[in-house]
Amino acid sequence: MTHPNYLTPEGEAKLNAELQELKGPRREELSQRLRSAIQMGDLSENADYHKAKEDQGFLEGRIQEIEAILRNTIIIEKTQGQDYVFIGAHVTIQEGSEEPETYHLVGPTEADPRKGKISHESPIGRALMDKKVGEIAEADAPGGKIKFKILKIE
């Protein structure tokens, strides 16, 4: 059994746009490259043909991957007024005397820590789940245990 993929509406739209691009213009471009390479003759030593076939494999693999993700997607609805951390929440935390940081808790497919999006399956994400404002969460990070206080949930 596959586990669900949690996506924000924006994440779903981004994947759908990528899928349409891959199935449309990118597939057509690859088809043109393959036709041109085949017209050159001997395929056994035709580098253009072999590269186009390799690219085709990656393209089709990515299409299948996106379709599988979208097939098992649960859209994260924006829920206001929750008093505990949930998938989709924006959580402001503070570690010791460091500056507060705000993270958006998302599914692993959409996680991008540099943009403030962390997976609910990450060490920090797991530590945050179901906690309330004012509680202290503790996570096992690669650099050791870290403790942080939950300041705000939106």
Please report the domains of the chain, with CATH numbers, ordered by start residue.
5-75 (1.10.287.180), 90-153 (3.10.50.30)
Does pTM surpass 0.75?
Answer: yes
Sheet containing 90-94: order of strands: 117-119, 101-106, 90-94, 144-153, 136-141
Instruction: Count the Cβ atoms, other than its own, within 10 Å of residue 22.
Output: 16
pLDDT of the residue at 137: 95
pLDDT of the residue at 79: 66
pLDDT of the residue at 1: 53
Give me the tens of pLDDT residue by residue for the chain, a chain 154 residues long: 567 899 999 999 999 999 999 999 999 999 999 998 888 877 777 788 889 999 999 999 999 999 999 999 999 887 666 789 999 999 999 998 999 999 999 999 999 999 999 999 999 999 999 999 999 999 998 888 999 999 999 8
Rounded to an integer, what distance in angstroms lies between the CA atom of residue 154 and that of residue 152? 7
Rounded to an integer, what distance in angstroms lies between the CA atom of residue 57 and that of residue 55? 5
CB 88 within 8 A of CB 75: no
Q: Name every residue whose Cβ is closer than 8 Å to that of residue 70 and which is 6 or more positions away in sequence.
A: 5, 12, 15, 16, 19
Rounded to an integer, what distance in angstroms lies between the CA atom of residue 45 and that of residue 36? 14
pLDDT of the residue at 45: 75
pLDDT of the residue at 117: 96
pLDDT of the residue at 80: 64
